[in-house]
Amino acid sequence: MKAAHLAHNPHTAYAYWHPRQDAVFVDSVSAWVPDRDTKVRACELYRRNSPPPGVGYDPHLYWSDGPDSPDYHLLRIDPWRVQILRGSDLSSRIWAAESPQNH
């Protein structure tokens, strides 16, 4: 689904929600990363620094050849606006790039 979307429009939105009503919303421009060196670096960073068991994972569990697996894809996300909403008091903080490109 994401590949079809990005083929026509690089603008993406991401959200995170926690049951305490804390949330993060990200407006960005996203693109697939084609170069192997960056894919290897990202895979190793995630493997070494993944969250505790039950939250993160070793990417090699899903892609046996790691970044060389044909179905391993890395998405670069360049945010231009990030909003953090705290559920306890509904306070909000917004970060925006100084001069968003093509937004």
Residue 54 has pLDDT above 60, yes or no: no
Please name the residues in contact with 72: beta carbons below 8 A apart, sequence gap of 6 or more. Answer: 39, 43, 59, 63, 65, 66
pLDDT at 28: 96
| Positive or negative torsion for Cα 22, 28, 34, 39 | negative
Q: pLDDT tens across 2-53, in order?
A: 789 899 999 999 999 988 889 999 999 999 999 999 999 988 888 777 666 6
pTM of the model: 0.75
Amino acid at 96: A
Q: Supply angle C-alpha 19, 83, 49, rounded to 5.
A: 70
- Tell me what pLDDT residue 15 has: 95
pLDDT at residue 78 is higher than 90: yes
Where do we find the tokens 């939105």?
A: 13
Predicted local confidence at residue 62, as pLDDT: 87
